[in-house]
Amino acid sequence: MISFPESFVDATSIELVRHRAKIDQVKAELAQKKEVFHAGNKLPRYYFVLDWLNREVPELKNILIYRSPRGFMPSWNRRELAGKEAQWPAGQIGPFGLLELFVCIDNCLRQTKEILVFPHESGLNHSIEPIIQTMDFLGASKEMYRREAFERKQLSGRRRAKAPRSLSPRSRHL
């Protein structure tokens, strides 16, 4: 039996409702498993309620997946330009993501528990070490992890880092 607070799978107060389908899918997949040793939720704005979440679930392990502004700001810019098609708020361009990053770091620094910082780019494209460190942090058995499959998929060159893009294609408007 695995239990976690409803807020752990309830995105309505943290993210847009469009995440509901993904959350329902994850719930269904968890319900089909015989044993679940570790469960996680990667909603990107949990840092807004981190104090409350850690009070509600004191044994919860916190992992900050750090992505540099150079990596996420172009994505914010593209989504804002796509407008309603991307279900993205008008005017919410990359620099606002930088402000959110500052809030996230500030909230993480206020915690009294250890928080693992997982490097997004190197941890998903260049090195196996961040995965191993994350498993150690979680207390997960490395035998459960299919390292060879990960290395073939992630480190084989099929997922090369994208060329750096301008941080703000709309900089002339700022």
Give per-residue pLDDT as tens, 16-27. 455 567 667 777
Q: In the predicted model, what is the mean pLDDT of residues 42-66?
A: 85
The pLDDT of residue 172: 37
Which parts of the chain fold into alpha helices (H)?
A: 20-32, 50-56, 69-82, 94-109, 120-121, 129-138, 147-154
Transcribe 33-62 into DSSP letters: -S--S------TTGGGGHHHHHHHSTTPPE
Domains in the chain: boundaries: 1-40, 44-165
Q: For 5, phi and psi rounded to 5 degrees?
A: -65, 150
Q: In the predicted model, what is the mean pLDDT of residues 157-167?
A: 49
Tell me what the pLDDT averaged over the chain comes to. Answer: 76
pTM: 0.65
Amino acid residing at 165 = R
Closest to 51 measured CA to CA, from 111, 5, 11 = 111
